[in-house]
Structures are given as structure tokens and as C-alpha cells.
Amino acid sequence: MSWRVAPDIAEILKKGGDFAGVSRAEAMALMHLDTHSREAYALMQTADAMSRRQFGQKGENHLHIGLNVAPCPMNCSFCSLSSLAGVFTEQIDFDPDQVVSWAKAAQKKSADALNIMTTGTYSFERLLGIGRLLKKTVELPLVANTRDLSHKEAEALLDAGFVGAYHAVRLGEGRDTPLKREKRIQTIQVLKDVGLLWMNCVEPVGPEHRHEEIVELMFLAREHGAAYSGVMRRINFAGSPMGALGMISELEMAKMVAVSRLVMGDVPRAHCTHEPHSASLLAGANLFFPEVGSSPRDAAADTGKGRGRSIEACRQLQQEMGWDPDLPSNCFKPAA
């Protein structure tokens, strides 16, 4: 048995590990690696070393707070909050006092940020109000996760206290969603125009997605300068319209997290994966999203009582893998 990594792969890993970035063709070669191969483990180790060097061993935790449950008419096929899924039939807006309670608990438990998510029909003015309330109540950075935005709306988010926005061009955009890829990219530019940090993930990955479309979204994140990116797999909740397609494994996701890390090079301030698990923490990921409130991956109205991982559980996973969640966040430092 040879103990050496194939020379062509070793060359790609050397280039990527030196933060020189990799080409699309090189990323595709890495995507095609067998997950149990020596080359795949060398890929993950390379990505892990890059993140530990660039992010200084920091384990990040951004608490996701889903503000509302609703049978959303957008009907994204992978989302438990869609009308099509039939999981939720009534609207639930979590009380501001509950949102504040979650935020205060997150600050006490040393979370690094709050990721405030809404469905596509949630009142934008109400989101701004929640932002202003949280800004007065806690000292954690606020990241919005909402619909496409105009420049005026993005500026309003800034004024309300948000410092960034999570916004992804999803796999299957326009096919599994009613939204247009061009509009999603336009919103990314809007965020950057007004000075909001753009947060991203390649998602929601399923076995049906071709390597080419996954890699294309990795390069979208690099070329538009995402503050963080990474990989999230599709979770098939009970009754999911996409359930018959199956799910990728955590190991397969870890390999993709590593490919994404080499693609991102020196661009990001953190590298994420979702849902939280150990494998990707050895493959370049250092950012987790503990969750409360609504989640598009859960049939529980409050995912904190369902699939969602707690801040304590995320911190423990990071500590077990040699990441330190008590170090200062890298995501929100002023640009040098």
C-alpha cells in the first residue's frame, strides 16, 4: 500500500494550503475524491490547518433566533415553514420578551452574535423593531436573515443596529424556490454597497446536486467577499417534499467544507457548517449556529426544543476538537 498522496492532489493541496486559492477545475478534482481516501483526509487536514492558522483557534457560535413560524407562500421545497410542506398551519410570532430572553441568555453563555431569521412574509418594520430592541438590550452583533432587500431597506437594517446579513443563493434557486438567482446576487451587492457584512453558506446540499453547481456557489462566495461561508446539508424533516432524495452524510459534508475552505483562501473571517457536528471541525469549519425559535429544518415550532443545538452543546463540540469558544470573535473586527 502506498502511503503517499497522489501527486496531482498534493500539488492542489500545497497551493490551497498556502492561501493562493484554487481554480474551479482543481476544486472539482477535490470534490470527486472518495471520502475514505488518503487524499480526502489530506484535504481535510489542509483545510483544518488553514483555519487554525487564520482564525487563531477561535470557535465561533452565532445563535440563530427564528422570529416566526408561518405557512410561508414562498414554498421553497426544502423548507418546513412552507405551505407546501404542511407542517405548520398557523402563524406564530414569538413575543419580543421571549426574543430578548433568548438574546440575554446567549450573551451570558458567551455567544459571539445573534442571527435573526424571518420567513419571507414577516413584517420588515417588525424586524427593524426587534433589531432596535436587541441593540438596547444586549451587546452582541446582530445579523439579519430575511428576504431580498433594496438599498433603502438595507440602510434601515444598519440604522436599526444590524451589522451584517446572511443571504445565500441556494442550490436549486428558481427550481426548488420561486426566487431568481439574479435577484439574490443583486441583494448581496446591496448589502456590500451599504456597508453590511455579507454572510453566506453553500446550501442546502443534497445528493441530487451536481458537483459543478456546488463548486459554482463556493466561488460566488469567494468572488463577492463573504465574511464567512461553508456548507450546510439539506435536512429532510418528516413529510419533506424532498425526502425521497435522501441526505448527504456528515462525512461527505466535511469533505465539501474542506473544499470550500481552500476555495475561500484568505477571504473569510470564519468558516461555517450546519448542523453542528464534529467532523467538519477537523475539515476547516470553526463556526456553528446553535438555534432557538423557528427553523426551516424542524417540525418543532421552537427548534430549541427540537433539532436545534444549544450554545453549551456547540461549545463542548468545539472544545473536544481543540477550538476555543472563549477567544474573541474574528467576524466583526473592523477591517484593517
pLDDT at 335: 67
Q: 202 Cβ partners below 8 Å, 6+ apart?
A: 168, 171, 214, 217, 218, 221, 229, 230, 231, 232, 256, 260
DSSP code at position 224: T
pLDDT at 232: 98
Do residues 242 and 209 make contact, with C-beta atoms less than 8 angstroms apart?
no
On the question of pLDDT at 93 being above 90, the answer is yes
Q: pLDDT (tens digit, 9 = 90+) per residue, 71-91?
A: 999 999 999 999 989 999 999
On the question of pLDDT at 1 being above 60, the answer is no
Mean predicted confidence (pLDDT) in 243-255 = 97
Do residues 240 and 80 make contact, with C-beta atoms less than 8 angstroms apart?
yes
On the question of pLDDT at 182 being above 70, the answer is yes
Tell me whether the omega of the peptide bond preceding residue 96 falls within 30 degrees of 0, making it cis.
no
Closest by CA position to 264, among listed 224, 212, 310, 306? 224
**Highest CATH level, class, for 7-320:** alpha beta
Mean predicted confidence (pLDDT) in 292-318 = 97
Task: Give the integer Cα–Cα distance in Å for 17 and 188.
Answer: 28
| Structure confidence at residue 333 as a pLDDT band (50, 70, 90) | confident
What is the overall mean pLDDT for the chain?
97
On the question of pLDDT at 224 being above 70, the answer is yes
Give the lowest-confidence range in 87-91, 103-107, 209-213, 260-264.
Answer: 87-91
Mean predicted confidence (pLDDT) in 214-226 = 98
Q: How many residues does the structure list for the chain?
A: 336
How many other C-beta atoms are found inside a 10 Å radius of the C-beta of residue 282? 17
On the question of pLDDT at 168 being above 90, the answer is yes
Cα separations (Å) of 227 from 75, 164, 255?
A: 28, 9, 21
On the question of pLDDT at 2 being above 70, the answer is no
CA–chain centroid gap for 290, Å, is 11
Do residues 262 and 27 make contact, with C-beta atoms less than 8 angstroms apart?
yes
pTM (2 decimals)?
0.97
- Each domain of the chain, given as residue ranges in start order, spans 7-320
Share of the chain above pLDDT 70, in %: 99
DSSP character string of 59-119: PEEEEEEE-EE--BTT--TT-TTBTTT-S--S-EE--HHHHHHHHHHHHHTT--EEEEE--
On the question of pLDDT at 336 being above 70, the answer is no
Task: Report the C-alpha dihedral over residues 254, 305, 331, 49, rounded to 10 degrees.
Answer: -30
Mean predicted confidence (pLDDT) in 35-40 = 98
pLDDT at 81: 95
